[in-house]
Amino acid sequence: MWQKREGKDKWKLIKTTKNLTFKAKVKTGRYYKYKVTAIFEKKRVIGKTEVVAACIPDNVSNIIYKRTASNKVAISWKRGKCTKRFTIYKKAENGIFKKAAIVTKAKYEDSKIAIGKRYVYKIVPVYYNEKVEIDGSNAYMGVILKDEINTGIQNYSYEELNSDTKALKKLYGRHFHYNVIGKSADGRNIYDLVIGNQKANQSIIVVSELHAREYMTSQLCMKQIEYYLQNYNEELDGVRVSDVLSKIAIHYVPMANPDGAAISQYGFSAIRNASLRKKLLKMPGSDNPSQWKANARGVDLNRNYPYEYIARLGRRGSAGYTGPKKCSEPETRAIIGLVNKLRKSTLVRGQINYHATGSIIFGDYEGPLKETITDMYTLARSITGYTGASGYSGSDGKDATGNLREFVMYKKKLPSITLEIGKSFCPLPLYEFNGIWQKNKNLILLEAKLLVK
């Protein structure tokens, strides 16, 4: 006589049989106890077995993976009831699953992977006690690790930025966040991408592509973000990434002029607003959209900030026009809003700008921030090998009006430097990217380490 007990219920008769085996219908994730009573003839009990507890584990659910280093992946899942441990199998090249690990927590990290290769894992929940071991149903996860940021394309576009932002959030979860801090004149998002400790009381700000044709700076910043996230638990240039990012939040605005980028990359047909497009076609520089620097209203965003601002300097067009009034542009207001917000909630340790031509660094300043700015400037020069910009009066020179760097330093009292990354005229050719990357890949991390307290 086979008997079953569920929870605190009374023992129930399952089956009376002469066989030594039986089948019973049970639900996964619920504990059952079994015992067998041996009966001679019809009523005489001649023996009983020990009580055996058993449970079929619930299925594994909500499987996700995160890339934790350049060659590591962490898989996690939601455990069901009645699960004591998990057996992890990894599919070999011959198609056979081989046991990779036994874990008690609902997570597993694999450091034996290669970029671009597909891996399949099988996760089996297991219940066991001193008498039985029961496997649950198999669950599978397929993983292909690849670099999300495409550095092999000439036009790193707003669409690429959108797609990459979502992919990075999916892959790196709690170490990566993003906010929309404003909209461009043509309705594109202006993103604040954040890596590091969201709750830290310290922050730094990185801004790139104020000028439309300098879109390789956006590509560089996005690649930096991915690189630091990939290596969060590793060392880069002798610095453990997590040691820095656990203490500070790095706020990137990688594409401060998304409309202008679209114009420079694809021409005026990329502007969706018909009224804006019509006006743009009448402006100076409209015969050569690839060289466009301004936004979709013909305003040079690096002349629109409220420091030494001169209203209506120049005229609407490809470059140089300061705007009808200071902070007239939505892109300008978005960045000022971010700076103000962070200054209220954190100690903003510094601000870094990326521009695209000259392979030079601006670090000139006279005032109470001089020591910190000089340290930032000296470090940047030692890392990149770029020359100093002393006496230069170009796009970020000290004679410029409405300039972001000067506004940040003199109005907001924040240390700031500007790097011009390329050698050629803008838009920078794709073949320059690898050299630029090697010079700049660790720069923001090391500047953050310098500034963090």
Residues 123 and 192 occupy one common structural domain: no
Contact 142, 120 (CB under 8 A): yes
Whether the ω angle into residue 427 lies within 30 degrees of 0, i.e. cis, is yes
Split into its structural domains, the chain has a count of 3
pLDDT of 147: 86
Q: What's the CA gap between 230 and 241, in Å, rounded?
A: 10
Establish if 208 belongs to a structural domain.
Answer: yes
pLDDT of 448: 98
Number of residues in the chain: 453
pLDDT of 285: 96
Q: Which amino acid, 317?
A: G
Residues 226 and 83 occupy one common structural domain: no
Residues near 53 by beta carbon (within 8 Å), at least 6 away in sequence: 31, 32, 33, 34, 129, 131, 132
Establish if 153 belongs to a structural domain.
Answer: no
Evaluated on CA atoms 425, 312, 410, 206, the torsion sign reads negative
pLDDT of 52: 76
Query: 3-class SS at 66?
Result: strand
pLDDT tens string 292-323: 999 999 999 999 999 999 998 899 999 999 99
274: exposed, middle or buried (C-beta count within 10 Å: 0-12, 13-18, 19+)? exposed
CATH number of the domain bearing residue 83 = 2.60.40.10
Which of 98, 119, 144 represents a domain boundary (last residue)? Answer: 144
Residues 16 and 37 occupy one common structural domain: yes
What predicted TM-score, i.e. pTM, was given to this entire model?
0.78
Query: 3-class SS at 173?
Result: helix
pLDDT of 396: 44
CA atoms within 13 A on the CB side of 21: 1
What phi and psi values does residue 156 have, to the nearest 5 degrees? -85, 105
pLDDT tens string 270-284: 999 999 999 999 999
- The domain of 37 spans 2-54
Q: Which residues of the chain have pLDDT under 70?
A: 1-24, 40-47, 391-400
Residues 361 and 416 occupy one common structural domain: yes
Concatenating the DSSP letter of every residue in 208-270 gives E-SSTT-THHHHHHHHHHHHHHHTTTSEETTEEHHHHHTT-EEEEE--S-HHHHHHHHH-GGG
pLDDT of 21: 65
Residues 306 and 417 occupy one common structural domain: yes
- DSSP class of residue 284 equals T
